[in-house]
Structure 1
Amino acid sequence: MSKQAKYKIPDEYFFRLHHVRPRFKNDVEEVLLHVATSISGMSSSIEKNFNLELNKILFEFKKNSTLTQKTIDNWRTEISALFAFIQEKDGFLKPSKTAIRLANNRYLDEFFNYFLYSFQYPGGHIKSQNVIKQIEVGIKFKPCNFILQLLLEGEKITGKPFSLTAEELTQCAYFDLRVTRDGRHPKDVAKLILKNRIEKVEYDHKYEQLKNETTGTYPSNGDVCRYAGDILDYMVLANLLGHKGTGYYYYLNYENKEAISYHLENITWFKSYDKFYKQKGISNSEIAILEESWFEFANSFDNIEAFVPHLDKAQTESISSLIQEYYSRMTGDRKVPTKIIGDYGESLILAHEYLRTKEKSNRQHLINKIPTSLGVGYDIQSIEIEKRKRYIEVKTTKSRKAINNNCFKLTPNEWDTAETMGENYFIYYLVVNDSEKNIFVIKNPLKQHQQGNINVDKNLVVCFKDNAGDWERLLEI
């Protein structure tokens, strides 16, 4: 019986890439949304005071009240280091642009696209001494960009959709200096993966560099592959990839071509480390002083249209057709202008309102998306069957899996309008995930607040109880 072939990175090319791994990874979407919403209104303050307030927020999440202070401190470090939720300026901490954007629009797929766009090795998400180690061996690696290229090259070679596992990515690229330092082309890595599959090789994860000197044991295969696996999972949360099978084969999500193309065509790099690559004896202080610049870099990107969730072409056409009859009746125009269709969540609610009132009213021409520039304090003007108007503020949470989050943020103008409109003002809290789309409808939020059914804090973060409104299934075409 022939012995099964094994594959292992030669010792001279092995280098383990790593990053902060959040203890809350299984709840990462829910935790990030909770923290972003809670801190977005915090003012700049000294580190001690800011951290105390953030710790309080973390203790309030689910069952965290029973956790130790050390664990909460670790959570805080992971959120700030890996996801760049906090920025420092002149000794003061403040919520970052990334955190504020997530709190305001609540699109988690957009958030992870921004995160992956700036993520690199080396980066300020790891400690200074580890940045130095990566610089000293010459590593310059953008994992998201590389993985997208790798999957495309595999598809070109095979002539069909190509997928890979975290183990294949780790052993053939992630821990191999020929890739992360020397720039081995993704096409060559795809060929290597395919060759190993044909030869049915077993990947050997027992690297001497990973051996525990005290116990003489090696980490499990899962532990070896977890860093590459993290990035693949974050790419799934960004809707760049999908995954299938028990071994998790990851593949390109072609429904998000625009974002994939943007990552591939617009490569960015934090250049402040570059001057150290030819320097000997780099000190921790030289790298540590760049930490503030790193977090400025990670938060410097905004208004990337390719990352914003969009209705696909079929959805847009369906919604346009739905409202065409009534819009034409009102204006005489043949085509619904693009501005009538709002952003992702608003568009879905716009269609919902037409379907909700269909065949019950002849006033559907009054259902409209209100331009944000008008600043009226709501997104959609709709109608009641009883010849009254309904003013709707749409709050959308978009995630991959169902999450339990009952908080969102209002602007001062939105809350003032809610007070003025009273019974005619509604908040539609739209929750979208891979399984379903539902709306929690809150009528007259001021009244619900007075009755104790919703809580509104000083930063206008609204948290509602189940009796503050009703859940409804989103009506779709």
Structure 2
Amino acid sequence: MMYRVPKEYMLRCAFPRGRVLRQVEDDLSILTQFIVKFTPNESKEFDRLIDEEYGKMRSISLKSIKNFRTEMTRLFGLINVGENGVVTPSKRTELLVETQNFPLFFKTFCHKFQFPNGINKPQETIKFIEAGVHFEPAKFLLELFDLGVARFGSAFCVDGTEISNLVFNDSRVATGRRTAEEVLDVLVKLRNQRERFETGSKMVQHGREFLGYMFLAGLLIRDESGKFHLNETARTAIDFIKSDVEFFKVSEDFATDLSVRKQTLRDWWLWFGDVGETEKNKFAPGRVTSEEEIPELIETGIEVTPEMERAATPTRADMKEIGDKGELVVLKYERERVFRIRPDKVALVQKVSNDTSLGYDIQSLELEDVTKKKYIEVKTTERTFPPSKDVLTYFRMSSNEWDTAKLFKECYYIYRVFLTRDEASIFVIKDPAKKHKDGHILLEALQYRVIVKETAGSYAK
């Protein structure tokens, strides 16, 4: 048997396609840095600069680049365009550039994503208005997951085909006439009857993609079979999204009054791309409070003995003062390295990040000569997937940090920490000032945005 949404209830809540899920973070990393670099700017000039710069990095047609820019900026709310036609970065873009925290970025996106919206083409938005649509996918799906877990336990899961057919394609859900509990009842019944769902790409891509974005946000977990489970560790964010009543109302005059439509779209971009302090507080990761929360490094080749583990693991005092996962990963890694050759010197590996005037976060020792100090600035990015090797990673440095790098030369290191779910990797850059002089690092004076080529360093071993 094949389940099909009854014709009288068929309404596809679709939206512009993003990228392949594993590629989205890389594309956003590139695009958001370009947006900050080329704004504020007049709209046509902004488009030209983005297309030109992106064309240097991707061997695709100009038409494909234009489509990519338009779809990504609209879908994720990356820019604002004022009445004067000047483009500025949205708060969401600025948040990602500043924090390098992709799960935080995607939480803010999922939280505000709704139908009707200013993302779809006007004719689609008009169709949703006329149908009486009032739909917040993340809120609805989190309610569905909570009900499923309450009924069946933590093993409850769904896939994109089920969610597309039962949620994103059914007007009863989009207009509030079918609750999450009723959808769960239908889902259970269809599973018991072993009914199949329509699987054509147009029928299932939107539900599958939105579940993917909730996965990138850390709200869901995806298992090896591709099914999605609730991520209970994100409970604070989950409860906030479920309880928030904010909704952007699109005027009914949107369909008939062009001036209302233009103003509504400007208001939409300001609202959709905005990130308030409450969101940041609810969605930002909490401080690390236990050893189990410190991500393990990808295989480093260091044999860790019980004695080394005890000596290297950050203490509760370390965690209370630091809290940042990236710095704790580096602190543990450096203590392990020093312990191997001079266990008596481990105590000299210290965090100093509370004193921003120093221009570095961790003070360690050079293994070749433990009488020489090593000054480490930690730059952390949280992602779901590791970055592709051909993607230029970037981060911000203060003028004080860069001046300190020039002062300490070969004794100064940047440890570029990538946290991907439960694993961590460290890209080590020794003497970044010399790497810049030799052309392996590009420096742009914002504060400083440091753009790193693969030749600038190597992953820790």
Fold match, TM over 0.5? yes
Task: For 1:239 and 1:327, locate their aligned partners in 2 and report how far apart those are by CA, in whole Å.
Answer: 26
Letter in 2 for 1:80: T
Secondary structure, counterpart of 2:5 in structure 1: coil
In the alignment, the residues of structure 2 paired with residue 361 and residue 16 of structure 1 have an alpha-carbon distance, to the nearest angstrom, of 63
Q: Following the alignment from structure 1 to structure 2, what is the Cα–Cα distance between the partners of residues 184 and 401? A: 35
User: Matched residues in 2 for 1:280 and 1:239: separation?
Assistant: 35
* Cα 1:317/1:116, change in 2 over 3 Å: closer
Look up the match of 1:270: 248
SS of residue matched to 1:9: coil
Partner of 2:8: 12
What per-residue deviation string (whole Å, max 9, x for no partner) do you get for residues 269-289 of structure 1?
223x2x53xx69643442232
Q: 1:318 to 1:108 in 2, by over 3 A?
A: closer
> Residue 135 in 1 paired to residue 122 in 2?
no
The one of 328, 350, 367 equivalent to 1:347 is 328
C-alpha distance in structure 2 between counterparts of 1:281 and 1:431, whole Å: 46
Q: Give the conservation status (yes or no) of the 8 Å contact 1:120–1:141.
A: yes
Alignment correspondent of 1:253: 231
Structure 1 counterpart of 2:31, one-letter code? V
Q: Which deviates more, 355-364 or 226-235?
A: 355-364
Deviation of 1:441 after TM superposition, in Å, equals: 0.9
Where in structure 2 are the equivalents of 1:50-449 lying within 5 Å? 50-61=46-57, 64=58, 66-89=59-82, 90-203=84-197, 205=198, 221-244=200-223, 246=225, 248-271=226-249, 273=250, 275-276=251-252, 282-303=256-277, 304-310=280-286, 311=288, 313-315=290-292, 336=317, 338-358=319-339, 360=342, 362-371=344-353, 374-385=356-367, 386-404=370-388, 405-413=391-399, 414-434=401-421, 436-449=423-436
Distance 1:260-1:23 versus aligned 2 partners, 3 A rule: closer
Deviation at 1:123, TM superposition (A): 1.3
Q: 1:323 to 1:314 in 2, by over 3 A?
A: closer
Instruction: Report deviation, 1:323.
Output: 11
On the 8 A contact 1:395/1:408 being kept in 2, the answer is no
* Counterparts of 2:207 and 2:355, CA distance in 1: 43
How far is 1:190 from its partner?
Answer: 0.5
Residue identity matched to 1:46 = E
Counterpart contact for 2:327–2:361, Cα < 8 Å: yes
Match in the other structure for 1:217: none
| Structure 1 stretch displaced more, 347-356 or 162-171 | 347-356
| 1:56, distance to aligned residue in structure 2 (A) | 2.2
CA distance in 1, matches of 2:276, 2:339: 38
How many equivalent residue pairs? 440
Q: Under a length normalisation based on structure 2, what TM-score does the superposition of the two structures give?
A: 0.86
> Shift in Å at residue 167 of structure 1?
1.8
Cα 1:355–1:258 change in 2 (3 A) is: farther
CA contact (8 A) 2:22 2:385 kept: no
Structure 2 unaligned residues grouped into runs of 5+:
297-306
CA distance in 2, matches of 1:229, 1:238: 14
Q: Quick one: distance in 2 between partners of 1:189 and 1:136?
A: 23
Shift of 1:83: 1.1
Task: Name the residue aligned to 1:214.
Answer: none
- Give the deviation of 1:347 after TM superposition: 2.1
Over residues 411-439 of structure 1, what are the superposed CA-to-partner deviations in whole Å (9 max), with x where a residue is unaligned?
A: 34232222233223210011232584221
Which residue type is aligned with residue 441 of structure 2?
I
Call closer, same or farther: CA 1:316–1:14 in 2, change over 3 Å. Answer: closer
Mark the CA change 1:157 to 1:145 in structure 2 (over 3 Å): closer, same or farther. same
Cα offset, 1:188, TM superposition: 1.2
**DSSP-derived class of the 1:286 partner:** helix
Q: Secondary structure at the match of 1:358?
A: helix
| Identical residues among aligned pairs (%) | 28
Report the alpha carbon displacement of residue 78 of structure 1 after superposing the two structures with TM: 1.1
Gaps of 5+ in 1: 206-219, 329-333
Q: 2:37 & 2:268 partners in 1: Cα distance?
A: 23
Counterparts in 2 of 1:454 and 1:133: CA distance versus 1, 3 Å: same
Amino acid at match of 2:61: T
Aligned 8 A contact 2:29 2:393 in 1 = no
Q: CA RMSD in A?
A: 3.0
Shift of 1:142: 0.8
In structure 2, do the counterparts of structure 1 residues 392 and 160 end up closer, same or farther at CA, with 3 Å as the change threshold? closer
Alpha-carbon offset, residue 237 of structure 1: 1.1
Deviation at 1:181, TM superposition (A): 0.2
**CA, structure 1 residues 242+335, in 2 after alignment: closer, same or farther (shift >3 Å)?**
closer
Q: How has the CA–CA distance of structure 1 residues 284 and 183 changed in structure 2, closer, same or farther, with 3 Å as cutoff?
A: farther
Question: Which of 439, 443, 449 is equivalent to 1:461?
Answer: 449
**Displacement of 1:312 after TM fit?**
6.8
Q: Distance in 1 between matches of 2:169 and 2:320?
A: 48
Contact 1:324 1:335 in 2 (8 A): no
Distance (whole Å) between structure 1 residues aligned to residue 316 and residue 109 of structure 2: 38
Q: 1:283 to 1:12 in 2, by over 3 A?
A: farther
Q: Distance in 2 between matches of 1:183 and 1:387?
A: 72
What is the alpha-carbon distance in structure 1 between the residues aligned to residue 254 and residue 77 of structure 2? 29
